[in-house]
Chain A
Amino acid sequence: MNHDIIFNLALAFTFISLAIFIANKLKFSSIPLLILAGMLTGPHAPDLGGISLALVYQTESMDLLARLGVLLMLFYLGLEFSAGKLAAAGSSLVKGGTVYVGLNFARGLAFGWLFFHSWPEAFVVAGITGISSSAIITKLLVELKRTANPETEFILGIMVFEDVFLAVYLSVLTGLLFSGGNLAAREIVPGVVLIFAFVVFIIACGRRIGAALEPRLPAKSAESFTVVVFTLLLLTAVLVETLHIAEAIGALLLGLVMAETVHARRVIQLVSPMRDLFGAVFFFSFGLDIDYRLFGDALYLTLAAVLLTVAGNVVTGLLASWLAGYKSKRGFNVAFTIIARGEFAVIVASLAVTAGASPVLPAFAALYVLVLAFISPVLAKNAPSFYRGYTRLLASLPRPGGRTHSAG
């Protein structure tokens, strides 16, 4: 069937705009709605009374835009949540962040192993369920008017922490996935270690590389600046690909390096509209590939994962904020806010599926993000009432010494 590329793209963007419009009207995260829009209008769309809703085709051009979307999203992440900011945030954050990310990840790994009995899949599940969505969480904080609260610094600090962790995680993940399925530890380990070392090296030397890069950027002309930044992004993607590292990591690392230059602000302003545009295509195109008929297989997995995520996140969040010195009410605000999952879960799932991991994973990621998108704003909003419930519970429990603890 010969269909016009532009027509297809126009259709896709019509649905993308519609999804984002609805998301804004409902004050809902746009990511799950974009995936839904892709599912409902793509090749696997349902038939309504004999009329197929399959309007949009997954074309090569769409694929290209989606890939650019991933690159730009990770580039932006690196720019905004850079390692330099992590170092500035201090040791309490490092302590809390390590505990939070470590425990969450271990939980995801155990959960994934239980369901798939395979380490690469378990590793993917851990990535999907372990890392919060900075986009959704910052939006939530603004909506709930908590941006000036002291614990918000800690929440955003965790986002930065997760971002650096993300670079390391992705490096191990691609090592695992692209080993071609043969999982003899002897063959994977050197590759994984090499990539891991490379990523850690770039993160550690980010400031120095940034300083070397800085005077070479044509900062005066807006046109050449835009073009050079974009070229750098693509070249980095190609370069790391030849080193058998996923291009997404290249983009993230470039972001981390660029964040250390004086141009960081400007690059962020330059990238964010492109990221919004192509990122939306990525989520939509992710939806195009999902057959909702597969949801049956993913349903129990999703529900179990959601329950575990919420429960585990509350516990680890409370523990991490307690370690960082944010107690009682502040800790509850932290724990109930960082539950949102989004762009990262989807990116990991799409990476996994291109490497030939279990086909259930995209459906699982989509459902999981969708369900959490419904739950997490409610949880974040009601964090103070959860805290009140907790203090009331404490007060009603008789203490061994006969004293009752009064709510402070």
Chain B
Amino acid sequence: MSIIKEAELPGLGKKFEISLDNGDRVAVVIHDEGMREVYHFPAGEDDPLSSVTMTDQEARQVGSIISGSFYQPRLLEKLETAVADLHIEWLQVEIGSAIAGKSIGELGLRKNHGIIVIAVIEDIKKGRKGKTLINPGPSYVFTPGHTIVAAGLQEKMRQFEGLLTREK
């Protein structure tokens, strides 16, 4: 976790300084009038590298994007509204995942898990461009490093995500 330092700036507002793991520091000044200033101090530097000033409303928008509550892939915006519960996601097969080495048919992915694999993007190796398989057949074997584009209901997607990530 990063360390957050708080300081009162009389006449201006309040300052929050966040030290990031990589050594950089981010300072956020919230003015009494609602304006926000964000400064970026590179590791070991005393002077800010850059800064932005935002109005209260802009800051709230940016904040929700950063916090992740705002995120929606632009391409999928329409789809999302049409089928509210359908989720399409890009997921990577991690090394040591529970289903690595198993094929779609073997797992009975559609029947047992309610997941449809739309496409597979093979990993990029040594400058070679990754191959994309659209609608792979039941013989496709999950290989660590591949990216799976899959569709399913929210609940099912979450379970599938669990299968792809490394087991503890």
Chain A interface residues toward B at CB < 8 A: 80-82, 85, 88, 134-135, 138, 141-142, 145, 147-150, 152-153, 156-157, 159-160, 268, 329-330
Contact = CB atoms under 8 A, between A and B. Distances in A.
Q: A145, A148, A150, A268: which has the most chain B beta carbons within 10 Å?
A: A148
A142 B28 CA distance: 13
A329 B15 CA distance: 21
Q: Which 3 A-B pairs have the closest CB atoms?
A: A148-B27, A148-B39, A138-B11
A85 B13 CA distance: 13
A148 B11 contact: no
Contacts of B51: 145, 148
A138 B32 CA distance: 12
Interface of B: 7-12, 15, 17, 27-29, 31-32, 37, 39, 41, 46-48, 51
Given A145-B37, A147-B29, A147-B37, A152 B9 contact: yes
A28 B7 CA distance: 28
B10 A147 contact: no
A80 B11 contact: yes
A147 B11 contact: no
Nearest to B48: A148
Given A268-B32, A329-B46, A148 B37 contact: yes
B12 A142 contact: yes
Q: Helix, strand, loop or mixed for chain B's interface?
A: strand
A135 B11 CA distance: 8
A148 B29 contact: yes
30 contacts: A80-B11, A81-B10, A81-B11, A82-B10, A85-B8, A85-B10, A88-B8, A134-B11, A142-B12, A142-B37, A145-B37, A145-B48, A145-B51, A147-B37, A148-B15, A148-B17, A148-B27, A148-B39, A148-B41, A149-B47, A150-B46, A152-B9, A153-B15, A156-B10, A156-B12, A159-B10, A159-B11, A160-B10, A268-B32, A330-B46
B15 A147 contact: yes
Contact of B9 (A82, A145, A153, A268): A153
A135 B15 CA distance: 18
A80 B28 CA distance: 20
Nearest to A329: B46
A147 B7 contact: no
A300 to B, nearest CB: 34
A147 B9 contact: yes
Contacts of A153: 7, 9, 15
A384 to B, nearest CB: 8
Contacts of A152: 9, 15
A161 to B, nearest CB: 10
A167 to B, nearest CB: 15
Contacts of A157: 10
A386 to B, nearest CB: 15
A378 B146 CA distance: 59
A75 to B, nearest CB: 14
Contacts of A81: 10-11
Nearest to A145: B51
A329 B39 CA distance: 19
Contacts of A142: 12, 31, 37
A213 B106 CA distance: 75
A81 to B, nearest CB: 5
B135 to A, nearest CB: 52
Contacts of B28: 148
A165 B64 CA distance: 43
Contacts of B37: 142, 145, 147-148
Given A81-B11, A147-B29, 6 more contacts: A142-B12, A153-B7, A153-B9, A156-B9, A156-B11, A268-B32
A389 to B, nearest CB: 17
Contacts of B10: 80-82, 85, 156-157, 159-160
Contacts of B39: 145, 148
Contacts of A85: 8, 10
A81 B32 CA distance: 14
Contacts of A149: 46-48
A81 B9 CA distance: 10
A324 to B, nearest CB: 14
B45 to A, nearest CB: 12
A299 B32 CA distance: 39
B10 to A, nearest CB: 5
Nearest to A137: B11
Nearest to A384: B47
A257 B23 CA distance: 41
Q: A82, A135, A156: which has the most chain B beta carbons within 10 Å?
A: A156
Contacts of B41: 148
A156 B29 CA distance: 14
Contacts of B46: 149-150, 329-330
B66 to A, nearest CB: 18
A149 B7 CA distance: 11
Nearest to A330: B46
